[in-house]
Amino acid sequence: MVTKTPRIPIPQAVREYVFERNNYKCRSCGKTNRQTTLTVDHIIPLAKGGSNDMSNLQTLCENCNRRKKDYYDPRFKRYYS
């Protein structure tokens, strides 16, 4: 059984970093911040043992984030830089 990682607030500076790193685009559908509202999402969901680390964060639009829920989508890879 996977232990759920506690949710912590993502600081605004980290959100800005993730948006910039992802070129202000949804990683799923490709819409930009001019076309939709972007959110910061966990690649490996906290409910599945994912971390709050920046390498586990990505940009998704609200619609794609709602569809993804707490599922792991293997199309997305963590960022290691």
| Tens-place pLDDT, residues 14-70 | 999 999 999 999 999 999 999 999 999 999 899 888 999 999 999 999 999 998 877
Nearest of 47, 49, 29 to residue 37 by alpha carbon: 29
pLDDT category at 6 given cuts 50, 70, 90 is confident
Pairing of strands 38-42, 57-61: antiparallel
pLDDT at 81 over 50: no
